[in-house]
Amino acid sequence: MANLSAAPELVGAPYDLAANALLITSAARTDVIETLTAAGIRVREVADIATAPALLDGAALDLVLLDARGAAETELAMVLDMLGDALAGPALVAIFSDGQIDLAGPLIGKPRTQLLCDPGTTELLGALLRARAENEGAPRSRWTDITRDTEVARLRRLNEEVARIADALARLTRGELAEEEEIGRSSIRAPEMEYRGADEPLPDISSGEIRAVIRARRLRGQYFATELFADPAWDMLLDLFAASLERRRVSVSSLCIAAAVPPTTALRWIGTMHEAGLFGRQADPGDRRRAYIVLSEKAVQGMRAYVGAIRRAGLGLV
């Protein structure tokens, strides 16, 4: 791959290229580089999967964009290990193909990380703008030009406006940006499980009962547009709850299917639920490149308490 450190600024960029990125890809795509430029991000290095670890080790960056599409699992292993194990570092945007979703497991819950599945240009632009906005409040890397505070504030406002436009465009066209952007990732909070009294024992629940609810929810799609009832958080909670009752592990790809929304949307929700303390991640003991998603103990107790409350009220779980 070519080193773009000395490359001139790209003509036609909408505003100053103030953020610096390392692009890791097995085959540099023109559309990805153009989208980085449109987001005001300077590509200082382009590395293939094999040489990326050396650049990541000790590098000072604003953003790492990993385009894993087309890369072999064995090639990605070291890069994903480094990105997943780092306690701190640059913002990360990682792109996977539909068949690679399980490889994203080790990155779920990592701060300042966005996981995308075969994104369109609008969706990638929105992710890059969010990553750049986060970086503007952080110390600048050694590759970044010194920027005045007034310029940073101007760019932040511009980023926010472009992000809103990209979001609206995605909703009007392909609906690529997830529903959680409407309510804000911070709006999800795991409630304290202190409302259940000592005289309210947790009920016995069978996985078949939960699976029946899931089947009933999926049947709606035969009669109404699926988008009308998109509720990925609850669908994933039900699926993981049933799996916990069955003592079965759930892969990232399987949970994305259970969410009944586009893969990128599902990945965002998995990250949001992880941040809320409702989902946990367990490494696959046979392959540390993969991970399983499980309910936290707090989430399990909450689901059991909820089912108990539903039964006491004479209602049905939906």
Q: Which CATH number fits domain 19-177: 3.40.50.2300, 3.20.20.20, 3.10.450.40, 3.40.50.10490?
A: 3.40.50.2300
Give the pLDDT confidence of 155-174 residue by residue, as tens digits. 555 555 555 555 555 555 54
Backbone angle region of 287, left / alpha / beta, with phi > 0 → left and psi within -120 to 50 → alpha: beta
Strand order in the sheet with 279-284: 250-251, 287-295, 279-284
Give the burial class of 132: count Cβ atoms within 10 A of its Cβ; 0-12 exposed, 13-18 middle, 19 or more buried.
buried
Q: Crossing angle for the helix pair 252-259 and 232-245, nearest 10 degrees? A: 130
Kind of pairing, strands 250-251 and 113-117?
unpaired
Residue 299: CB partners within 8 Å, gap ≥ 6? Answer: 190, 237, 240, 241, 277, 278, 279
- The CA distance from 204 to 96, in Å, is 40
Alpha-carbon separation of residue 238 from 132, 191, 209, 214, 251 (angstroms): 35, 17, 10, 7, 15
pLDDT at 104 over 60: yes
Give the pLDDT confidence of 110-161 residue by residue, as tens digits. 888 999 999 999 999 999 998 888 766 554 443 333 333 444 455 555 555 5
Structure-model confidence comparison of residues 82 and 3, the more confident one:
82
Domain span(s) for CATH 1.10.10.10 in the chain: 207-312
- The CA distance from 191 to 277, in Å, is 10
pLDDT at 5 over 50: no
pLDDT at 177 over 50: no
Q: Report percent pLDDT > 70 for the chain.
A: 71
Domain span(s) for CATH 3.40.50.2300 in the chain: 19-177
- The CA distance from 223 to 164, in Å, is 33
Q: What is the pTM of this model?
A: 0.73
The class that CATH gives domain 207-312 is mainly alpha
Give the pLDDT confidence of 55-93 residue by residue, as tens digits. 776 556 788 999 999 898 888 888 888 887 765 678 899
Quote the distance between the C-alpha of residue 150 and its chain's center.
31
Confidence at residue 171, expressed as pLDDT on a 0 to 100 scale: 52
Confidence at residue 84, expressed as pLDDT on a 0 to 100 scale: 79
Give the pLDDT confidence of 198-250 residue by residue, as tens digits. 456 667 899 999 999 999 999 998 899 888 888 999 999 999 999 999 999 99
Confidence at residue 284, expressed as pLDDT on a 0 to 100 scale: 84
Confidence at residue 28, expressed as pLDDT on a 0 to 100 scale: 72
Q: Could you tell me the two tokens for 142? A: 């050694």
Structure-model confidence comparison of residues 197 and 253, the more confident one:
253
pLDDT at 33 over 80: yes
Confidence at residue 213, expressed as pLDDT on a 0 to 100 scale: 94
Give the burial class of 201: count Cβ atoms within 10 A of its Cβ; 0-12 exposed, 13-18 middle, 19 or more buried.
exposed
